């Protein structure tokens, strides 16, 4: 089934955002898809930033500077309504560098990690107003060889 014009626009903006973030490692370009008061919440880490300057700083200092060179992403599903997109995505990578946005404070382990996560992306008009990201942090630590208990 073809997407409505609205849903296609939202999908295109979100795809451009993630392309700039992960493929191009450009915090500057990624934040161009956001509203001025956008927020990003990484639920498993308890990280929440709001306002375009703060989101930009988080992307620059914690994310785009720390993308494993072999990271691949597979979208498992996408659900769209007129206000949001919900994506289920699986990242696979080798933990060869410090990853403050996934495994803060943990030195590289050299292990392969598969991070299944869900991201809820809210829109206002044609721009992203919020991202909320969820994953099971315990499973990520276990794959890295760290026992939390």
User: Could you list the pLDDT tens digit for every one of the 149 residues in the chain?
Assistant: 688 999 999 999 999 999 999 999 999 999 999 999 999 999 999 999 999 999 999 999 999 999 999 999 999 999 999 999 999 999 999 999 999 999 999 999 999 999 999 999 999 999 999 999 999 999 999 999 997 66
* Domains recognised in the chain with CATH numbers: 5-143 (3.10.450.50)
Is residue 76 left, alpha or beta, with left meaning phi > 0 and alpha meaning psi from -120 to 50?
alpha
The pLDDT assigned to 3 comes to 83
Q: How many CA atoms lie within 13 A of 91 on its CB side?
A: 23
CB atoms within 10 A of CB 102: 25
The pLDDT assigned to 1 comes to 67
3-state secondary structure at position 132: strand
């Amino acid at each position: 089934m073809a997407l409505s014009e609205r849903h296609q626009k939202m999908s295109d903006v979100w795809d451009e955002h993630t392309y700039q973030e992960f493929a191009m490692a450009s915090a500057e370009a990624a934040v161009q898809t956001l509203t001025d008061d956008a927020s990003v919440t990484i639920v498993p880490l308890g990280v929440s930033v709001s306002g375009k300057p703060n989101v930009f700083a988080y992307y620059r200092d914690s994310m785009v500077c720390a993308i494993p060179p072999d990271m691949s992403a597979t979208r498992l599903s996408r659900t769209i309504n007129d206000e949001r997109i919900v994506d289920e995505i699986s990242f696979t990578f080798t933990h060869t560098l410090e990853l403050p946005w996934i495994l803060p404070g943990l030195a590289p382990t050299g292990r392969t990690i598969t991070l299944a996560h869900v991201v809820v992306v809210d829109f206002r008009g044609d721009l992203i107003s919020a991202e909320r990201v969820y994953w099971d942090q315990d499973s990520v630590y276990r794959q890295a060889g760290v026992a939390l208990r």
